Amino acid sequence: MAAPLSVSGASIKGPAGIVASGLDLSLSMTAQYDAKQLEVDLAPLTIDQRGAAPGEPQAKCARQAGESQPIAVSERGRRTTR
C-alpha cells in the first residue's frame, strides 16, 4: 500500500465563501474500474482542524461510463473525541 496523501492548511470553499480553513487532511485512495464505471474509495480519510475533534469519514465516488455522466458521492462520517 502506498503512503497516504497529506495536506496541511487546506480550505474548503462553497458558493457562499470559505466554509472551513486551517484543515489538515490525510487520505488513502484506491480505485477500481471497468468498461461500465470508475469507483474511487477514500479511506481512511482524516480531517483535523486545530482545537476541534478530527473527523474520519469514508467516502466513495462512482461515475458511470459515457459522456456527461454525473459523479455520485456517498459518505459515512465519524467524529472522534479528544
Q: Higher model confidence: residue 18 or residue 77? A: 18
- Average pLDDT of the chain to the nearest whole number: 81
The confidence score (pLDDT) of residue 82 equals 44
Given a cut of 50, whether residue 41 has pLDDT beyond it is yes
Nearest to 20 by CA among 56, 47, 43, 57: 47
